Structure 1
Amino acid sequence: MSASQPSALVLNAPRTLAFVPLEAAPLTSEQVRIRTLFSGVSAGTELSQYRGTNPFMHRRWDESSRLFVAADSPSWPYPVRNLGYEEVGEIVEVGGAVDDLRVGQRVFGTWGHRTHHIAQRDFVRDRLLPVGADARIGIFSHIGAVALNGVHDAGIRMGDLVAVFGLGVPGQIVAQAARASGATVVGVDPVKDRRDMAIALGADRVLDPREGSVAERIKADTGGRGADVCIEVSGASTALAEAIRTVAYSSRVVAMGFFQGEARGLQLGEEFHHNRIELVCSQISGVAPAASHRWSKLRLWQTAIRLQHEGRLNLLPLITHTVPFTEAPALFERIDAGEPGMLQSMLTFGTDA
């Protein structure tokens, strides 16, 4: 693939990526052409696509019943063209009727790993980056919204003790957002680099789950009470099981992780049953029902950008690996292999952004 050729990344089969050319279609009067500057790579949802484990790739999601059902054709058949949801770009052309946007303005949003994107004016107008902002904050619009949604679902009160299980990218954002909400935050992760990052970015304490029961340590430190809220962000059933053990009696565990396959290791007849634990799923397809009259996905996206620009969320240090778009297949291989030290990886598109 030529570095200058308009193209997109597609998944032709499990662990089989390829570049396909993009047609330079003319704009309609209400459209805007965007040149991609940066695109973040998700180590969660995208990795499940790359490996072929995502349920959308084996079954059909029925919108009317909100059920995964058996079908001849899954929701995401190969080739999968919807890779990527953490993009930021620059307007390079506007349609004839677009008089409120201009070439050079920068835009965040979801349009996939591709060099260019055509969007409607309304989409772009709602997703402009603040003037003077570091363009890289744009790659955190969606994953930032996922994290903020989880913190909203947690119902954190000022002064709460919140344990965050899993300190990958979403867990790091959750930890920062929970602390900004007035909580004392304990981060839990077996990877030292991730624990160190959490401390550097403001977590009050970190624990290595390999060094003994997290639940027993936190209960001992709180006079037997436990954490006021636990948020599970790793997608590991063992972490969810320990979060259930760690939270206080009749308190809330938020399950944010994307669990793949069976959630083995959950002993639901033990602490979950006897401590009347409230288990809540947080997923970005919806917002907390009690706040849905004023919060939406768009507001969450915009807020994730604004909080970074105001300095209340510090997410740029999470970017540990940056590679050119032409090296995307190799980057996915590295993520799949679990390369040490990798948090947020990002594709660049040969710009001086």
Structure 2
Amino acid sequence: MLKQLLAVAPHKAKIGEYSDSEIKQNQVKVKVEYASPKHGSELAAFRGKSPHLDFYYDDDWRTFLPRKGEEKGVDFGNWNLGNQWVGTITEVGSAVKEYAVGERVCSYGGIRETHITNAIDNYYLKKMPAKMSWKSAVCFDPAQFALGGIRDSHLRAGDKVAIIGLGAIGQIAAQMAKLAGASYVAVVDPIKNRREVALRAGADQAFDPSIEDVGLKLKKATEKVGVDVIIETSAIEQALQQALRGLAYGGTIAYVGWARAFKGGLDLGREAHFNNAKIVFSRACSEPNPDYPRWSWRRIEDTCWQMLSEGKLNCEEIINPVIPFEESACGYEEYVDRSPEKSVKLGIEFKD
């Protein structure tokens, strides 16, 4: 039997079995080589704390509404954990013309040994250039939200920037800020390894919010002015307070992180009230895009895939650690849930 990674209860993962059906004419079968979970919204659901468990977002009303009856947003026991995967095509349906056996592809889906997917007009079944790293490919999803934050902040060449939170989104946003022409990029995270990864990738300065007054440090680093733009990805109220403290007068915070209900630590009667701060809530996949019709989520996706496939973003240290699939249940619980300080974005390797 084939194997996959399942969420069986809040905070609990296990490897379970599944079987593949015969592929249809429009499908291909892929043998998965590498995969990675999503450390943000997926983790919230894994912990049983996602608003999607008891509510759903209604596109017509543009608000959260309660689910009906016993319906839940997560089916523990059947939920195949994972966000993106890379693998090689092993079977091709008779109607498929765009893909061939042996081609390496990347797409969305759970952490499992195989995937059977539609291969006719499927934008999300991405062919990988020969020199493209699998680590770059599985960063396609976080890159979109990083680019969305950069664009929504209206960052311009010469701006001084801070990136708060150095998971995959924050790491990529720091690199994108440099590519966009930022004259100074500071990174903020309590985890030493994450700060060091960002510095090696080109950030100018790093701060530890657990022991430093980050807002004041940002003011000191900019001759009391503050940074023009802050990309906030941590979704922690204390981080937003420090962002407001370190932001230049009239500057912009692009709030990219998916926040939970704040329980204290945010005081909008301080710097936010005096310094004309702007907070823009940024979500790359919310349509219409703020720059519609020139920009859309699809244009963001196209831009990110091009940057990743051309090697303009360095993701080699973002996917860390990389563990064998056989260890993925314990590894997910350890590196993603219980001890996120031990990872940036977890990688899973499937061995023959």
TM-score, length of structure 1 as denominator length? 0.90
Identify which of 7, 13, 19 aligns with 1:11.
7
Equivalent residue letter for 1:326? E
Provide the rounded CA distance (Å) in 1 between the counterparts of 2:92 and 2:123: 11
Which residue is equivalent to 1:107?
A: 105
Q: Deviations over 1:93-120 (max 9, x none)?
A: 1110112210111111211112222222
Provide the rounded CA distance (Å) in 2 between the counterparts of 1:143 and 1:308: 11
Please say if residues 109 and 141 of structure 1, whose CA atoms lie closer than 8 Å, have aligned partners that are also in contact.
no
Which residue is equivalent to 1:119?
A: 117
Which residue is equivalent to 1:281?
A: 281
Per mean C-alpha deviation after superposition, the further-off stretch among 85-94 and 152-161 is 85-94
Which residue is equivalent to 1:139?
A: 138
Which residue is equivalent to 2:76?
A: 78
SS in 2 for 1:142: helix
Please say if residues 86 and 143 of structure 1, whose CA atoms lie closer than 8 Å, have aligned partners that are also in contact.
no
Change (3 A) 1:148 1:288: farther
Which residue is equivalent to 1:164?
A: 163
Equivalent residue letter for 2:262? E
Q: Deviations over 1:274-332 (max 9, x none)?
A: 22211111123326734333444344334333323323210112222112222211012
Equivalent residue letter for 2:13? L
- State the percentage of identical aligned residues: 31
Q: CA deviation at 1:340?
A: 4.3
Which residue is equivalent to 1:25?
A: 21
Which residue is equivalent to 2:348?
A: 347
Equivalent residue letter for 1:133? M
Which residue is equivalent to 2:178?
A: 179
Matches within 5 A, 1:270-349: 270-286=270-286, 289-335=289-335, 336-338=337-339, 340-349=341-350
Q: CA deviation at 1:268?
A: 1.5
TM-score, length of structure 2 as denominator length? 0.91
Equivalent residue letter for 2:109? W
Provide the rounded CA distance (Å) in 2 between the counterparts of 1:191 and 1:172: 13
Change (3 A) 1:287 1:228: farther
Change (3 A) 1:273 1:218: same
Q: CA deviation at 1:175?
A: 0.5
Please say if residues 88 and 136 of structure 1, whose CA atoms lie closer than 8 Å, have aligned partners that are also in contact.
no
Is there any run of 5+ residues in structure 2 with no aligned partner, and where? none
Please say if residues 230 and 252 of structure 1, whose CA atoms lie closer than 8 Å, have aligned partners that are also in contact.
yes
Please say if residues 108 and 124 of structure 2, whose CA atoms lie closer than 8 Å, have aligned partners that are also in contact.
no
Provide the rounded CA distance (Å) in 1 between the counterparts of 2:63 and 2:247: 30
Per mean C-alpha deviation after superposition, the further-off stretch among 262-271 and 251-260 is 262-271
Q: CA deviation at 1:6?
A: 2.1
SS in 2 for 1:143: helix
Quote the RMSD (CA, aligned, Å).
Answer: 2.1
Provide the rounded CA distance (Å) in 2 between the counterparts of 1:263 and 1:108: 39
* Match status 1:44 vs 2:10: no
Size of the aligned set, in residue pairs, is 347
Q: CA deviation at 1:219?
A: 1.9
* Match status 1:128 vs 2:144: no
Runs of 4 or more consecutive aligned structure 1 residues displaced over 6 Å after TM superposition = none
* Match status 1:213 vs 2:250: no
Is there any run of 5+ residues in structure 1 with no aligned partner, and where? none
Provide the rounded CA distance (Å) in 1 between the counterparts of 2:288 and 2:236: 23
Please say if residues 287 and 295 of structure 1, whose CA atoms lie closer than 8 Å, have aligned partners that are also in contact.
no
Provide the rounded CA distance (Å) in 2 between the counterparts of 1:27 and 1:309: 29
Matches within 5 A, 1:59-74: 59-71=55-67, 72=69, 73-74=71-72
Change (3 A) 1:334 1:126: closer
Q: CA deviation at 1:164?
A: 0.7
Per mean C-alpha deviation after superposition, the further-off stretch among 299-308 and 150-159 is 299-308
Per mean C-alpha deviation after superposition, the further-off stretch among 153-162 and 280-289 is 280-289
Equivalent residue letter for 1:128? K
Please say if residues 129 and 305 of structure 1, whose CA atoms lie closer than 8 Å, have aligned partners that are also in contact.
no
SS in 2 for 1:102: coil
Provide the rounded CA distance (Å) in 1 between the counterparts of 2:227 and 2:289: 24
Q: CA deviation at 1:142?
A: 0.7
More helix by share: 1
Which residue is equivalent to 1:261?
A: 261
Equivalent residue letter for 2:32? T
Q: CA deviation at 1:217?
A: 2.3
Q: CA deviation at 1:82?
A: 5.1
Per mean C-alpha deviation after superposition, the further-off stretch among 50-59 and 292-301 is 292-301
Q: Deviations over 1:107-151 (max 9, x none)?
A: 112111122222222226751112332233211111121211111
Provide the rounded CA distance (Å) in 2 between the counterparts of 1:286 and 1:196: 32
